[in-house]
Structure 1
């Protein structure tokens, strides 16, 4: 079989066919078998992820073929996301170190970061930014990269995730402007205030996690589950965020598929559901004034849930 496969394109096509036949799930940086096979082939060959297509007909030597096929077999047999196999994930056009200490970066918030949070920022200064539930640091670090004037705090409860985030801050040369803190959301941030709080907290229900494909079981469960409706962390953030925002500050929060549950809980709250290039993705914006206006409602529901 290896004699019949010769070029980079041969192996990409073969990998995509194998992945489709094996029923793999794609959702960790790549959404289809062809793109994932491409990245695994290029990684195995130590080639850049954006290799010029003109090299597609380049032929592999025996050792390279063996390396590519071994990576394909691991992807199929272990059901491990490709980013964990390569150790690299791309977020906001930046290369991040990626391993099982944190979720694979894949939030559409990347699109907002690359745009400097416009038009929602509306020209406001963003001198201090907070990324809650930073995981491997992608949102905090990318924000520092695209907002060179900003000092960014990245907060997480996991020591392992914070270790990975520090490695990424060093990797992307923003460690002087990114401070990483261990905290259960706002608990250790007394006295701090920010122009923007941006967060992609856990928002998946336990029932949904139990039904997820095997690929997701390699990720830390603590980065996914957030109560019966996926809103336990979001409710705490909504309740407490105004205490940590400057007067003209605003909150951007991802709740994914829990959007419907949030709207059902608070049908009168003027959530701004942000539209992305691919449509609405369960990410809302609220200004501090709105967080204050509806604070009692957020606090009551949080208290009812024992949060």
Structure 2
């Protein structure tokens, strides 16, 4: 069956067909079979993701055919996310190293970064920013890459994730402005202050985790789960963030499907839920002043 495949387009089409027929789950950087197959084929051939369609009819060598077909079959049989198979993922217009030490980069916060965090930062100057629960480092590194005047700290509790983040700092050549620090949330950041704190923390409930498709089993559980309601980490961030934000600082946190639970738990807190191109996706923005004003409600929610 595969003997008839010859060109780049042939292999992309074949991969997409195999992925669709196998009923794979798409949620790690791509949301459809065709885009995922395109990423797999072009990465395996060491070609740019924006390759001109004019090269689509280029024919693969025997060695290239073998490499591409092997990864297509592994994607189907192992349900391994394509970023882990190729070792690369795209986020906010940048290429990152990706492997099982951290979640595959895929946060909607990428859209905020590319938009300059408008309108939330339109009238604010950012000197220092923090990427809390950084994982691969993609959010913080992208913030630094798109904002050359910012100094950015990346923080995670996982030594393995931090090792990958440091590799990505070097890969994106931002080591003069970005550093990776080991810390359990804010515990190791005594005395640090930031104009902007951004976090994509774990927010999957234990029940949701047990029902996740097989692809997610390849990712570290530490980066996914956060208690019975998915809010264990988010509540800690809300409670402690004011100590590490500048006077007019801003906190941005992704809580995904736990958005409703958070809004119901803290109905008086003025969360600004971000509308993305594809709609609301569980990311809120809140000022330091509002966090302080509602500190007691947040503290009570954390104890409950």
Same fold per superposition (TM over 0.5)? yes
Partner of 1:264: 264
Q: CA deviation at 1:45?
A: 1.9
CA contact (8 A) 1:132 1:155 kept: yes
Partner of 1:273: 273
Q: How many residues align?
A: 304
Partner of 1:142: 142
Q: CA deviation at 1:115?
A: 1.9
CA contact (8 A) 2:266 2:301 kept: no
TM-superposition CA deviations, 1:241-268 (whole Å, max 9, x none) = 1111111101000000000000100112
Partner of 1:9: 9
TM-superposition CA deviations, 1:136-193 (whole Å, max 9, x none) = 1011111111111111111100000000000100111111111211111011111111
Partner of 1:127: 127
Q: What aligned pairs does 1:73-222 form with structure 2 within 5 A after superposition? A: 73-222=73-222
Structure-1 separation of matches of 2:271 and 2:166: 33
The alignment partner of 1:119 has SS state of coil
Structure-2 separation of matches of 1:86 and 1:27: 16
The alignment partner of 1:263 has SS state of helix
Q: CA deviation at 1:111?
A: 1.0
Structure-2 separation of matches of 1:116 and 1:290: 22
* Superposed structure 1 runs of 4+ greater than 6 Å apart: none
CA contact (8 A) 2:98 2:104 kept: yes
Gaps of 5+ in 1: none
Structure-2 separation of matches of 1:185 and 1:298: 17
Q: CA deviation at 1:3?
A: 2.9
Q: What aligned pairs does 1:53-72 form with structure 2 within 5 A after superposition? A: 53-72=53-72
Q: CA deviation at 1:63?
A: 2.3
Gaps of 5+ in 2: none
CA contact (8 A) 1:137 1:165 kept: yes
Structure-2 separation of matches of 1:201 and 1:115: 21
TM-superposition CA deviations, 1:170-222 (whole Å, max 9, x none) = 11111111121111101111111110111000000011011001100000000
TM-superposition CA deviations, 1:62-119 (whole Å, max 9, x none) = 2222221111111111110000000001111001000000000000101111222121
Q: Which shows bigger deviation, 160-169 or 50-59?
A: 50-59
Q: CA deviation at 1:269?
A: 1.3
TM-score of the two chains, using structure 2 as the length reference: 0.98
Q: Which shows bigger deviation, 59-68 or 11-20?
A: 59-68
CA contact (8 A) 1:111 1:276 kept: yes
CA contact (8 A) 1:2 1:65 kept: no
Q: What RMSD, in angstroms, separates the aligned Cα atoms of the two structures?
A: 1.0
Is 1:44 aligned to residue 44 of structure 2?
Answer: yes
Structure-2 separation of matches of 1:228 and 1:277: 30
Structure-2 separation of matches of 1:256 and 1:55: 38
